[in-house]
Every structure is written in structure tokens, then in C-alpha cells.
Amino acid sequence: MTEKRVEREQKKETKKTIEERTGLRVLLSWATLFGIVYGELDERLSIKEALEKALKKPVPPHAWQLFCLGGISFFLFILQAITGTLLMFYYRPTVAEAFSSVQYINNYVPFGWLVRGIHSWGSTLMIIAVFLHMLNVFIRGAYRHPRDFTWVSGVFLFMMTLTFGFTGYLLPWTQLSYWATTVGTELPGAIPVVGEYIKIFIRGGTDVTGATLTRFFAIHVLILPFFITFFLAAHFLMVRRLGIAEPL
């Protein structure tokens, strides 16, 4: 060994002992995702192996660009969940404060206008993406056995996506949202016999009031997220198990 190399090795040795003495390496490892996921947790749960198994599943050659529509819908859903959570930090679901809290988000909260813009445009985009995904699945005949349950779970997802849009529309409590909800909740009222009861149940009374706002807020931020997570999990599990449908 040359003298320089011996010197380098000795330096390395001292560095190692310092790291060992301070526990720096362990500390750094814990502070990083890799350290925890691929280190400590992986040692116990074999995450790396599970991830590799999941990510190495080959994509069939007939899966072309339109197959991304399901993924795009999911991406938009995640975007809605993140921006919606941020909006909840400032939004107030009462008749007296809903409109002014939205104005406050738009004009005073840093990047509030951006978060709100992404959330409201995101909702429209998500409805379009989910609809196109559904159309794609329909045209390819991928709804048939054995994917019939995937389709049914999708129908629930579609209805929930629309309900997200409908309930969210009332939340700013503007003239537009008030009257849109009045007209929208009038529709089930046309159902014979039970219609009136359904309308009153949705509105929380005979008219659109603060009770409707409270109800729609609860549906929008609690009930729907709970159910959609369940249906998404079922949808993905079935997609994964059954694989992508063969071309017609």
C-alpha cells in the first residue's frame, strides 16, 4: 500500500468512528424516507420486495394511451383531496361567513386564489376524465364478465364524483350556487309519492337554508371521501386482480 493510501484509509477510519460515536449515520438514516422505508421498516415488512413485485407487473401491449384515463381520474382525485384539505383551513360553513371566507381565501390567503382555482377547475376536469374513462371502458366492452363488478363499482364512483361537484357548488354560498342548488334539489321532488320527502331530506327543510349548507358540507368533506376511498380501493383491487381487458 502506498503511503497516501494508508493515510486515506486512516482518515476514513477516524470518520467512521466519529459517525459511530455520534450515531450520525443511524440518525440520518431515520431522517430520510429511504432510511425508514428501505431500512428499518423494510427489515420488518419486506416493503422493497412487495414494491418490486407490484411495480414489475408488465403492462400488456394493447394498453395504449386511452388507458391512462383511469389513472388521470385518480390523479385528479388526489389533487382535489389535497387542495380541498388546504381550503378547509380557512373556509367557514355558515350562511354568515361562507361567502366572506371564500373571498378571504381568494384575496388575502397566500396562494389561496391558486388553491381555490385548482380545486374548482379540478372538479370539472375530474368529471370529464371519469366520464371519458367510463366511455372508453364501454366502447371496449371491458364492462363484461368478469369485469362486471369493476363496472358496477365504477358506476358508484361516477355518481359520487357528480355528488362531490353538486355539493361543492353550494359551499361558496353565492347567488349562482344558491339558485343552482334550489333547482337541483327540486328535481327529486318530482318523483311521485316520496319525492317531496326526499327533497326535504336533502335540503334539511322545505327551502335551501343554512341547514342545507351544513348538510352539503358534511357530505362533501366527510361522507363522500369516506365512501369514495372504499370504492376506489375495491375498484383498484379488481383492476389489479383481473388485469386489463383484451381488445375486442
Q: Which residues bind ligand HEM (CB under 6 A)?
A: 67, 69-71, 73-74, 77, 130, 133-134, 137, 142-143, 147, 150-151, 154-155, 157-158, 161, 232, 235, 239, 244-245
H helices, E strands: number in the chain: 13, 0
37 versus 72: smaller Cβ distance to ligand HEM: 72
C-alpha cell at 27: 440518525
Q: How far is the CB of 91 from ligand HEM (least distance, A)?
A: 23
Q: How far is the CB of 222 from ligand HEM (least distance, A)?
A: 18
Q: Are 123 and 164 in contact (CB under 8 A)?
A: yes
C-alpha cell at 55: 411495480
Q: How far is the CB of 183 from ligand HEM (least distance, A)?
A: 25
Q: How far is the CB of 77 from ligand HEM (least distance, A)?
A: 5
- Residue of 156, 159, 157, 182 whose CA lies nearest to 169: 182
77 versus 217: smaller Cβ distance to ligand HEM: 77
67 versus 178: smaller Cβ distance to ligand HEM: 67
Q: How far is the CB of 142 from ligand HEM (least distance, A)?
A: 4
Q: Are 168 and 221 in contact (CB under 8 A)?
A: no
180 versus 239: smaller Cβ distance to ligand HEM: 239
Q: What is the DSSP string of 145-191?
A: TTSHHHHHHHHHHHHHHHHHHHHHHHTT--HHHHHHHHHHHHGGGGS
- Counting every residue written for the chain, the total comes to 248
Cα separation, 108 vs 125, whole angstroms: 26
C-alpha cell at 89: 383551513
23 versus 60: smaller Cβ distance to ligand HEM: 60
C-alpha cell at 28: 440520518
Q: How far is the CB of 71 from ligand HEM (least distance, A)?
A: 5
Q: How far is CA 87 from the centre of its chain?
A: 15
165 versus 195: smaller Cβ distance to ligand HEM: 165
First and final C-alpha spacing in the chain = 69
Residue nearest to ligand HEM (CB): 154
